[in-house]
Structure formats: C-alpha cells, structure tokens
Amino acid sequence: MTSAVVVAEPVRCVECGICSYNCPMGIDVRSKARQGLPVANGYCLTCGECVARCPRGTLRFETSDVFGFVFTPEGE
C-alpha cells in the first residue's frame, strides 16, 4: 500500500508563502518546505494545490509506504 506525500527542495524555496496560502487545509507548507521536510500531516488531502501554485517548482509528490518512509529516486 502506498500513498503520496508532498516533499520540497528547500534551496528553491523563497518563502513566499503561496503554498500555505492556497492550502485548503491551512497547513503551513512553507515552513516544511524551508526545512526540507515532507508534509507529513494527517489533514493533507494530497489535492496538489501547493505543488501547482509554487512559482519556484519547489514542491512535488513522492510515494511513501504506509510506514511513512519516503522513497527518493536514485540520483536525487
């Protein structure tokens, strides 16, 4: 069983806050992005709004298993 989680490339983040502003669940995506942490929030709908709205291409979805491990493609 797998699920998607939003992950960030922190060096690209300019802390504009557009991701957080557009999150329908009010999740502080900016804070996670800046720290390079996955948005491991139970309220995340994986709607993709934050990923789509980020002007810097900082955010993307990754697949994780039910235990929360994030698999990063080799070479990244």
Q: Is 16 helix (H, G, I), strand (E, B) or coil?
A: coil
Q: Nearer Cβ to ligand SF4, position 37 or 74? A: 37
Q: Is 35 helix (H, G, I), strand (E, B) or coil?
A: helix
- The one among 1, 2, 11, 45 contacting ligand SF4 by CB under 6 A: 45
Least Cβ distance, residue 74 to ligand SF4 (angstroms): 24
Residues 9-28 that bind ligand SF4 (CB under 6 A): 13-19, 23-25, 27
Q: 34, exposed or middle or buried, with CB in 10 Å at 0-12, 13-18, 19+?
A: middle
Residue 52's closest CA among 76, 29, 75, 72? 29
54 neighbors 19 (Cβ within 8 angstroms): yes
Interaction of residue 5 with ligand SF4, rule CB under 6 A = no
Binding site for ligand SF4 (CB under 6 A): 6, 8, 13-19, 23-25, 27, 29-30, 33, 39, 44-50, 54, 56, 58-59
